[in-house]
Structure 1
Amino acid sequence: MADQWEYLPEECWESVFNRLGHNRHLEAPSLVCKRFLSICNRLRSSLTVSDPTVLLHEDISRLIRRFHLLKRIDFVEFHGDADLLLREIGRSGLNLEVLNLSKQRRVPVQGMKELGAKVKTLRVLICSRQCSLQDSDLIAIADSFPSLQELDISYPEQDFGSLTKIDSIEYECAVSGSFPGTVSDVGIAMLSSKFQRLCRIDVSGNHFITDRSLLSLSSKCVFLREIAARDCSLISEIGIALAIRHNPHLISLSVNGSKIPSAFSSSSFTIESSLICGRALCTLDFSQMSISDDLLSSIIQAGLPLLNLALSRCRGFTFAGLSLLLCKYCSLNYLDIEGAAFLTDQSMLELSQYLHDVKFINLNSCSNLSNSAFFLLVKACPYLEEIRMERTNLGKEDCPSDMNSQLQNLKLSWNKSLSDKTLQKIAMVCPNLRSLDISHCWGITGEGIGYIGMNCCEIKMLKVNGCSRLRNLGMNSGFSKLEVLYASESGIDDDGLRMIRHSCRWLLRLNLEGCLGVTAEGVKEVVTNCKAIKEISLKKCCNVASDVIPWMVITRPSLRKLIPPGMEKKTKSQRPATAP
């Protein structure tokens, strides 16, 4: 009877493995036997290729043939022959939908052309942070994938020096439509005319595109619904107004235009006067702009179907303007008002009556907010899933505990007043936490973090970087589901690692950079018992003997990345391709 499982049909095993959820949970059953490995390979939908040693044609072909249902492939920071890889993907017959080519030295134009000729299912292409990106690359992308729905060409990493002051020659080159070796208005115009189905584009960080690019995108791409153009030095508020006017179907606009001179010099082209045309706008991100109460009033008068609003680090608006806006849009799900210095506990009491439906709120750097504001939000917002209150006065005032929140994510780093007592109250009212960041909260000790382990049984990610008084995760720590622990430059020592060994059996990633209390003995405790661990950083752990590194490589085959005290080193078991 014990061996009857071997005779179950593969369809049954596929159903069982599918219930595991994320692809990373397939690794354990794939190690049981070759049959399970074959089944797991067939079920994988995503693959990350990062090791530059994947160079041989035979290796690439064999790799691609292992996975039949891949929908997404990531080549982030891959430094091998990307053209060769793309050609093999094209020949594989995969119905690929998402391709990530971020952080490449160049765009693999030839490989894209061959891939585009054979794979017609690609709908998302990510080419962010390219070391070299220019107009000819955009044209090649458009020619290769004319049916693309989403394109990300954000933040190319060409070094142009400081762009805070663009001299007249550079400015004239940019507004004339082209600038050698960069993405310019010419490339965006060509791309806009070729894409017929483009729904979303991110051009953030391209410093030499102007208002003309926003006009081209909004007027030529008839299916375009989302535009992101943050940190584009030559885009002005006039360009933002033109984008809204020429595409009334936009549902999301993320920009931070300036008041620089525009090629379209007309006082009638203002954001305030154009918002009435944005009948479908659900998401507005005007972060780091100068925002007046008049603009907030224009948003109210436009009657937008607004659900997500970001005014992070904005200047110019007041509590009165914000209050009127939130009163109108009391159905907001997402609110980012980072750096709103005028906010106090009392003002948050007034605003909370309009935040019933909020799921995410960012109050970072609102230095006047304390415990009162935090627990008020927890009580007033029943659907709240994430709060960010970094660099505030959290830790001051009393802490009520007669409530139960659905909060899953908390980012509370750099709160110098945060204490174990406050953390205990947070643990009591937020039992559903999945992620907690209390980095650089210097008052926290193992006693405080222990309350989190005991009360928040679902927590999977914990960040305690810089918590120098934190030696362990509590004497009776739970954390049975913890997968990621970032504890760089914390007080974690060998005794703390022994506790982690017993409680965090499913740990996947551990960062101990700069933990001077850690030695090889403590590291061995973790490596021996955390059998699923994939990444460990021991950088600057000067008390860890280097001879433990070979032992770690041999003892724990699951390791994919190991950073020893001196330099980065990859393990023998680091596969050419790893599934996340």
Structure 2
Amino acid sequence: MESKRSKIREDAKYSYLPDECWENVLKFMIGDGDDYDDKRNLKSISVVSKQLFSITNCIRSSLTIYDPTTPFLSRLFHRFTNLTSLDLTHFHGDLDALLHQISLFPFNHLLSLNISHKPTIPASGLLAFSQNITTLTSLICSDIDSFKSTHLFLIAQCFPLLEQLELDLTENLVYDDDGDSCERFFHGIEALSLSLSKLRKLNLSGHYYIDDKSIFHLFKNCKLLEDLTVRQSCDITEQGVVYAIREKPTTLRYLSLPVLIIPQIIDSLCTLKALTNIDLSFCSISDQLLTSIAIQGLPLNRFSIRQCDGYTYAGLFTLLSNCHSIQHLDLFVVSFLNDRHLIELSSYLVALVSLSLRCCYMLTHSPLFTLVRKCPSLTHIKMEYIGANSVLNYYDDYLIDFGLYPQLKSLYLPNNSWLIDQIIIMFVSAFPNLQLLDLKSCKNISLQAIVQVLKRCRKISHLDLSFCNLTSGLNLLEMNFQVPHLKMLNLTSSQVDDATLHVISKNCSGLLQLLLINCSRCTHKGVKHVVENCTQLREINLNNCLNVHTNVAASMLFSSPSLRKITAPPHIHFTETERKLLRLRQGCIVF
């Protein structure tokens, strides 16, 4: 007995590691990426002890604020004292009032604020925010419905330390009722360029008034500018770009402008020796341009020629066979690219990490294994709307030995209706470490093939089966294994039924997000299985699920207290009092 007590004391002696050690352990566990699934696991870690609770509070750096969050802001801000990033994109209330409230807290490390997808810029809120929080280096205001010239002056006044500014608009800017004109917008851009001396990244896509003078002032005054994106502008000329580039020969790393690529542009681009990211999307380019870039030996990391014309395979081959540092390549709508070309190019893409081959209609899936075999770092592939030639023959040729390629993590194959069960099974057998698989609108895949996907790819976390004709049901004998890492499952318009939902709920209990939009075969019985067995579920979308009973949404909250977002069928209506009660008691938004 004494020896046992001695052992317990000895174990206890080494269990009390310093906070710094635990902090490093937890940071290693959650990683540094943008995927917050692992960060949610901190909740379970924090209940182990007061020490771990305190440490998990300290290492959380980002917070997304929803409407139900606002009554608890004071408690949250006092708990998470090292926040560096706030995301307000999902907040739909009075944003000015929210920013005034946030400004009252003594944030010492806040660097990033995202207020995208809003009706307008919250001017008074940003002004109050900037007066008390002076550390901001990143401001993201994408897709603002009503953007005014005064907003440019406001940003210039409030945030002089900005290094990143995202103001891209999905819809082109229109004049408002305050007498805005192109001239006033131009002066706003000039004010930005003079005030934001530390600016490194700027996105002004959709701001059609941007002209040669604007680009010149940005290049001249923003001495540290590395990344400039301006699309949907008609007033930028080739000569203006050439003149502006002379002001920025050493720091510019990324450039995307809506101009024709003339010889003078080619010569100017080749003087940018630090250029690592070239985006020529929607431009008319030439083999001469591609050859000139190849000859200059620019240290390219990213290269995009989305929907470009005017060049041939000869120019593309010259570029890619000489630029061996390219890690991210986008070949969206390259009409001439075929299997032979891609196999030939794969020998030169040794550093490739991600590849997009969307809408390359002459391609088949045949070069896929050549790519992953010759590109050892390739982890993400998109092959949407590619051709279907020789599919069955290729499957027969590779059936016996196609190897294992554990490096591939993401495979996007949407809108390839020729894909059949045998080919999908072949893919997942070769890529055992897949974490994301997108099979949207692949209509010839059965649930039996999906069982094989889940069985062979046990690390899969995101699976998109929307618009697939998954009409045959499953039983427990067909799927008698656990899929512990599956977090997001999209079954929109897939024709799944209650029996399928029952099997999913039993074997995919770690689900966080389930989308069942337009799944008319699902009833409240299947949904009940999911919410009772998937105890970590945070979001469920039942939009247009017409056979789900009217009281299912309320009962879900009692069955699954983890739920934070419910999209109810259109025939289920909640009063504002009920919605408020759900927000306050459960922290759950009901749409």
How far residue 250 of structure 1 moved from its aligned partner, in angstroms, is 3.9
What is the identity, as a one-letter code, of the residue corresponding to 1:554? Answer: F
Is 2:26 aligned against 1:25?
no
Which residue type is aligned with residue 126 of structure 1? Answer: I
RMSD: 3.0
CA distance in 1: counterparts of 2:191 and 2:135, whole angstroms: 22
After TM superposition, give the deviation of residue 516 of structure 1 in Å.
1.9
8 Å contact from structure 2 (residues 83, 110) kept in 1 = yes
Partner of 1:299: 293
AA partner of residue 426 (structure 2): K
Matches within 5 A, 1:143-222: 143-155=157-169, 160=174, 174=182, 177-178=183-184, 184-222=185-223
* 5+ long unaligned stretches in structure 1: 162-171, 179-183, 261-266
- Structure 2: give runs of 5+ residues left out of the alignment: 31-37
Structure 1 pair 252–103 and aligned structure 2 pair: CA distance change class (3 A): same
CA contact (8 A) 2:172 2:208 kept: no
**SS, match of residue 129 in structure 2:** helix
The alignment partner of 1:371 has SS state of coil
Matched with 2:269 is 275
CA deviation digits over 1:210-239, x for unaligned, max 9? 232222211110011111112334334444
Counterpart secondary structure, 1:447: helix
Query: For the Cα contact (< 8 Å) 2:361–2:386, is it kept in 1?
Result: yes
Offset at residue 476 of structure 1 (A): 4.5
Work out whether 1:388 is the aligned partner of 2:382. yes
1:134 aligned to 2:144?
Answer: no
Deviation at 1:575, TM superposition (A): 6.7
Which residue in 1 is equivalent to 2:545?
541
Moved more, 18-27 or 345-354: 18-27
**Aligned counterpart, 2:137:** 123
**Alpha-carbon distance, 1:576 to partner:** 6.4
Residue equivalent to 1:326 = 320
* Residue aligning to 1:402: 402
Question: Aligned partners of 1:273 and 1:329: how far apart in 2?
Answer: 18
Percentage of pairs with the same residue: 34
Deviations 1:62-120 (A, max 9, x none): 44323211111111042333333333333322120111111222222233233323323
Local SS of the residue matching 2:540 = strand
Three-state SS of the structure 2 residue aligned to 1:93 is coil
1:547 Cα deviation from its structure 2 partner: 1.5
Q: Which residue of 2 aligns with 1:43?
A: 59
Contact 1:445/1:469 (8 A) holds in 2: yes
Alignment of 1:94-133 (within 5 A): 94=107, 95-133=109-147
Is residue 498 from structure 1 mapped to residue 494 from structure 2 by the alignment? no
SS in structure 2 of the partner of residue 427 of structure 1? helix
1:31 CA displacement: 6.3
Q: Deviations over 1:542-564 (max 9, x none)?
A: 11112211100222111111011
| Residues 423-442 of structure 1: pairs in structure 2 closer than 5 A | 423-442=424-443
Contact map agreement 1:240 1:255 (CA 8 A) in 2? no
Deviates more, 1:203-212 or 1:231-240: 231-240
Q: Secondary structure at the match of 1:490?
A: coil
Letter in 1 for 2:384: E
- Shift, 1:541, TM fit: 1.1
Cα distance, 1:421 vs structure 2: 0.6
Partners of 1:15 and 1:393 lie apart in 2 by 48
Please say if residues 357 and 382 of structure 2, whose CA atoms lie closer than 8 Å, have aligned partners that are also in contact: yes
Residue 253 of structure 2 is aligned to residue 249 of structure 1: no
Change (3 A) 1:18 1:385: closer
Hey, what does 1:360 align to over in structure 2? 354
Distance in structure 2 (CA, Å) of the matches to 1:39 and 1:296? 52
Q: Tell me the amino acid that sits aligned with residue 302 of structure 1.
A: Q
Change (3 A) 1:241 1:491: farther
Contact 1:372 1:397 in 2 (8 A): no
Partner of 1:511: 515
Aligned to 1:422: 423
Structure of higher RCO (CA pairs closer than 8 Å, 6+ residues apart): 1
Which shifted more, 324-333 or 20-29? 20-29
Give how far 1:33 is off: 8.5
* Displacement of 1:459: 0.8
Q: Does 1:554 align with 2:558?
A: yes
- CA offsets per residue over residues 470-510 of structure 1, 9 Å max, x none? 54686356532100011100022111111211221111000
> Which residue does the alignment assign to 1:489?
493
Alpha-carbon distance change, 20 to 383 in structure 1, aligned in 2, over 3 angstroms:
closer
CA spacing shift, 1:43–1:407, aligned 2, 3 Å: same
Cα distance in 2 for partners of 1:292, 1:388 equals 25
Q: Which AA in structure 1 matches 2:491?
A: A
Question: For the Cα contact (< 8 Å) 1:189–1:213, is it kept in 2?
Answer: yes
Q: Distance in 2 between matches of 1:522 and 1:492?
A: 10
Corresponding letter in the other structure for 2:79: R
Contact 1:407 1:430 in 2 (8 A): yes
Q: Which letter maps to 1:75?
A: L
Distance 1:568 1:347 in 2: 56
Deviation at 1:16, TM superposition (A): 6.3
Distance 2:588 2:150 in 1: 30
2:63 counterpart of 1:67: no
Deviation at 1:306, TM superposition (A): 1.3
Give SS of 1:277's match.
Answer: coil
Aligned length: 550
* 1:289-317 deviations in Å (ceiling 9; x for gaps): 11111221221233311121000111111
CA distance in 1, matches of 2:497, 2:426: 26
What SS does the aligned partner of 1:462 have? strand
TM-score w.r.t. length of structure 1: 0.87
Q: How far off its partner does 1:338 sit?
A: 1.0
How far apart in 2 are the matches of 1:193 and 1:574?
Answer: 49
Q: How far 1:157 sits from its partner (Å)? A: 5.2
Tell me the secondary structure at the aligned position of residue 372 of structure 1: coil
| C-alpha distance 239-469 of structure 1, shift in aligned 2 (>3 A) | farther
Q: 1:147 to 1:256 in 2, by over 3 A?
A: closer
Q: Which residue of 1 aligns with 2:233?
A: 232
Letter in 2 for 1:398: Y
Preserved CA contact (<8 Å) 2:557 2:586: no
2: CA distance, partners of 1:574 / 1:206: 43
Query: SS state of the match for residue 246, structure 1?
Result: coil
- Quick one: which amino acid aligns to residue 290 of structure 1? S
**Greater Cα shift, 37-46 or 297-306:** 37-46
Residues 231 and 250 of structure 1, relative CA distance in 2, 3 Å threshold: farther
Q: Displacement, 1:367?
A: 1.1
Distance 1:391 1:125, change over 3 A: same
Give the residue type in structure 1 aligned to 2:394.
Answer: D
Task: Report the more deviating stretch, 568-577 or 209-218.
Answer: 568-577
C-alpha contact 2:297 2:323 (8 A) present in aligned 1: no
| Residue 347 (structure 1) aligns with | 341
Q: Which piece of structure 1 moves more, 39-48 or 425-434?
A: 39-48
Deviations for 1:170-212, whole angstroms, at most 9, x for unmatched residues? xx964xx34xxxxx32211110011111111111121222232
What SS does the corresponding residue of 1:92 show, helix, strand or coil? coil
Moved more, 100-109 or 471-480: 471-480
Alpha-carbon separation, structure 2, partners of 1:327 and 1:142? 44
